[in-house]
């Protein structure tokens, strides 16, 4: 199979990249036919409806937990004087969402890129990323496979976090289900006040039919193939990469968010 690799350019040790899209830079060309062909191609992609092939099997595996309103009401109480700086910034309607489907999303990558969304900008905010296998109920608790705390400033919108930057030597095993969590700790002694979101991911091998399609596909068709075959994480990543160069992919990403029930994210992206 010809591997089709789509990557983003990142800087710094761990960097959060906002992926709201960018403006097109006009391309001057004396070839009118070439210009028309590009325009037609862009319209074709924009009109191409993306369809995520999800599964109805298994439990709902994503959770969003934010107690911002209750947190504000407790700030004056004794014992909450250690409230951390990031949580002091958040508004009452602050929302943190992972870009994950309701049930475990799939990836073909050993080191996928995780995507998430914040409803407001944050300055010098402290986040913790946690990744661990989904354990059986009888399994013993142990330290997470990956746990990384980092500081960053973000704009409101969709953010990208590559596993290769979080933990360069860690790779997902095939057919193993992992849980990943992103949290903002608000108080060292009151974890119930943390703002956090959790989702699950599983790395799989592509089916023979998908391998063949990817081998023959044009790069711009790759995110649609991923979505049609239920490869959620790679579909989101491919769309986000293309969106940096061609805003026509924004609608496809909005549609994908709506199909996964991420309406807050979709509504924000429409603005």
pLDDT of residue 197: 95
Query: Quick one: pLDDT at residue 88?
Result: 81
Q: Does residue 27 register a pLDDT over 50?
A: no
State pTM to two decimals: 0.81
Alpha carbons 249 and 10: distance in angstroms, whole number? 21
Contact (CB, 8 A) for 178 and 142: no
Question: How do residues 34-55 score in pLDDT, each as one tens digit?
Answer: 344 444 343 444 446 899 997 6
Q: Name the pLDDT band for 71 (thresholds 50, 70, 90).
A: low
Radius of gyration of the chain (CA): 20
The per-residue pLDDT for range 84-125, each reduced to its tens digit, is 568 888 887 899 999 999 999 999 999 999 999 999 999 999
CA distance to 99, 105, 198, 261, per residue, from 62 (Å): 10, 10, 5, 11
- Domain 57-270 is of which CATH architecture? Sandwich (2.60)
Sign of CA dihedral 73, 74, 78, 83: negative
Confidence of residue 265 (pLDDT cuts 50, 70, 90): very high
């Amino acid at each position: 199979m010809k591997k089709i690799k789509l990557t983003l350019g990142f800087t710094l040790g761990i960097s959060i990249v906002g992926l709201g899209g960018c403006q097109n830079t006009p391309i001057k060309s004396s070839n009118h036919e070439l210009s028309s062909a590009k325009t037609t191609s862009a319209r074709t992609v924009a009109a191409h409806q993306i369809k995520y092939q999800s599964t109805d099997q298994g439990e709902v595996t994503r959770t969003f937990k934010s107690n911002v309103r209750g947190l504000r009401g407790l700030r004056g109480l004794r014992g909450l004087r250690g409230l951390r700086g990031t949580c002091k910034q958040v508004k009452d309607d602050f929302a943190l969402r992972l870009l994950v489907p309701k049930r475990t999303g799939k990836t073909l990558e050993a080191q996928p890129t995780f995507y998430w969304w914040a409803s407001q900008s944050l300055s010098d905010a402290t986040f913790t990323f946690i990744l661990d296998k989904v354990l059986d109920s009888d399994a013993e608790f142990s330290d997470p496979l990956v746990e990384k705390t980092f500081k960053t400033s973000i704009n409101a919108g969709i953010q990208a976090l590559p596993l290769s930057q979080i933990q360069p030597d860690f790779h997902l095993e095939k057919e193993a289900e992992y849980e990943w969590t992103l949290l903002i700790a608000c108080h060292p002694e009151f974890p119930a006040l943390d703002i956090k979101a959790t989702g699950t991911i599983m790395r799989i091998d592509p089916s023979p039919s998908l391998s063949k399609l990817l081998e023959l596909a044009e790069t711009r068709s790759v995110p649609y193939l991923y979505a049609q075959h239920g490869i959620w994480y790679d579909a989101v990543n491919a769309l986000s990469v293309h969106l940096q160069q061609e805003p026509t992919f924004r609608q496809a990403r909005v549609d994908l968010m709506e199909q996964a029930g991420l309406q807050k994210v979709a509504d924000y992206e429409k603005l």
